[in-house]
Amino acid sequence: MKIGAQLYNLRDFTQNETDFEETFSKLNKIGFDMVQVSGIGPLDYGFIKTMMDKYNISVSGTHIWYEKLKNDLAGVIKDHKTIGATIVGLGAMPVEMRESYEGYMEFIEFANAVGKELSKEGMVFAYHNHSFEFQKFGGKTGMDLIVENTDPDCVGFIPDVYWLQHGGVTPAEYLDKLGTRTKICHFKDMEYADGGPRFTELGNGNINFKPILKVLQKYNVEFAAIEEDTCYNYEPFEALNISLNYIKELSEHV
C-alpha cells in the first residue's frame, strides 16, 4: 500500500504555482512519492503534471467540489486524465442533503450517475465520510444508506479513520464492511485536548492503527493518505513527517 500526503493539509501552501512547487519539493525531501490533490488554488492541471514529473510524485486521486462534479464532469475527467488519476473523490455531500432520508436518496442517485459516467472513462467516484453520516434515518445510518444503495462497480469510498471513530464506529470494523470499495484510506489520529477531540499526528493519539492496517492489507487497498486538517502541535510539514515515520515503522510489524 502506498502512503501519500493529502494536500488539504497544505492548502495554505498550494494556492499558486510558486508555493505549489516549493510544497512538492518539501514533500519529496520528506519522503513522499504520492499525494491526493485537494484544497489547491486555481492551478492548471498541466502544471501539476509537470511538478509530478519533476519531483517524482504521483497522484492517487482528488477531492472535487460537488458543484464541479455536477456542472462540469467533462472538465473533471479531462483534468484527471492529465495527471493520470483514476479516483475522483468528493469530500462531503451538500449540507442540504444531510438532514433527511430523502436528501440521502437524492445524493445516492447523484453518486450513482456520476460513478456510471466516470466508469466509462476507467475512473471511479469515491465518497469521503465525516461523522455526520452516522446519524440514523429510519433505523439506518446515512453512511449505511450510501454503502447499501450505491453501485459497488462504480462508486467507492475514501474512509477517514478519524471521522469513523468520531461517528461512533470502530474504524477497522467499518473498513472491513467496506472491503474492496475502499479506494484511498485517510489516516489521521485523534487526541483529547481542551475538553474534546481534535486532530493530531499518527501515533500521538488514541486510534489503534494496527487492526486498520491489517484490514487494508486483507482487501489489498492500494492507497492511504495522511491528513491532519488542522495542526495543533507542529507546523504542517513537520506533522506530516512525524506521521509518515510512525506509519511506515508500524507497517513493518503488521
Instruction: Report the candidate in 170, 175, 238 with the shortest Cα–Cα distance to residue 201.
Output: 238
pLDDT digits (tens, 9 = 90+) for 36-85: 999 999 999 999 999 999 999 999 999 999 999 999 999 999 999 999 99
CA dist., res. 50 & res. 48, Å (int): 5
Q: What is the pLDDT of residue 198?
A: 98
Helix runs in 31-65, H state only: 45-55
CA dist., res. 7 & res. 225, Å (int): 9
pLDDT digits (tens, 9 = 90+) for 147-170: 999 999 999 999 999 999 999 999
CA dist., res. 23 & res. 13, Å (int): 6
Instruction: Report the candidate in 158, 159, 161, 131 with the shortest Cα–Cα distance to residue 243.
Output: 161
Q: What is the pLDDT of residue 159?
A: 99
CA dist., res. 98 & res. 105, Å (int): 10
Residue numbers of the chain with a pLDDT score lower than 50:
none
Question: Degrees (nearest 5) of the Cα angle 36, 41, 47?
Answer: 75
The number of helix segments (H) and strand segments (E) in the chain equals 10, 12
Q: What is the pLDDT of residue 108?
A: 99
Domains and CATH numbers, the chain: 2-252 (3.20.20.150)
Q: Which three cell numbers stand for residue 225?
A: 493518505
Q: Report the run of H or E that residue 174 belongs to, with start and end.
A: helix 171-178
Q: Is the dihedral of CA 94, 162, 27, 180 positive or negative?
A: negative
